[in-house]
Amino acid sequence: MANKGDERQGGVEVRLDRLGLTLPPPAAPKGLYRPLVIVGDLAFTSGHLPVAEDGSLVRGRLGEDLDQAAGQEAARRAGLAILATLRAELGTLDRVRRVVKVLGVVNSATHFDQQPAVINGCSQLFADVFGPEAGIGARSAIGAPSLPLGAAVEVEAIFQIETG
């Protein structure tokens, strides 16, 4: 896709390679849901958990087991998992027109209040991959006392895509 003033220079897939990013294998659902649902030109992802390079789940609670930097990396890893699902379902990330909305949930100790800074790990990844215009959308970041499987974060997103 060629946007006016295309910040992605040659497409998202080329930019992904240029950034040296490797996507994990798309995760299989861990319950009764679909990892991605497309309605019109919108792609809705289910919540994705952070997968470490060795394939293990990044677990822990921010403010107890993990610091803010580790949380940002966990959010980045959840973002990579989202990109893997998008690529598997769409065939290419070049069909993504823009990030519409990101929701990040952070496994937080009661005193931890830096959830937005943690979810910046995912938001920065999307900005790097899709460019500052297309890669930054609306966002919410909240804390929770626990997450599925003890994950450090869970992130879901909505993307506008090219159809047909």
In the numeric block, the tokens 């938001």 are attached to 123
Report residue 139 CA to chain centroid gap. 12
Q: What is the pLDDT along the chain (164 residues), one digit of tens a residue?
A: 344 444 445 699 999 999 999 999 998 888 899 999 999 999 999 999 999 999 999 999 999 999 999 999 999 999 999 999 999 999 999 999 999 999 999 999 999 999 999 999 999 999 999 999 999 999 999 999 999 999 999 999 999 999 97
Q: Which structural domain range is residue 69 located in?
A: 12-19+35-161
Sign for the pseudo-dihedral over CA of 116, 11, 100, 29: negative
The sheet with strand 36-39 has its strands ordered as 36-39, 42-45, 153-161, 96-107, 138-144
Report which of 149, 89, 145, 139 is spatially closest to residue 119, judged by C-alpha positions.
Answer: 139
The answer as to whether 5 is a domain residue is: no
- Number of folded domains that form the chain: 1
For position 54, which CATH number holds?
Answer: 3.30.1330.40
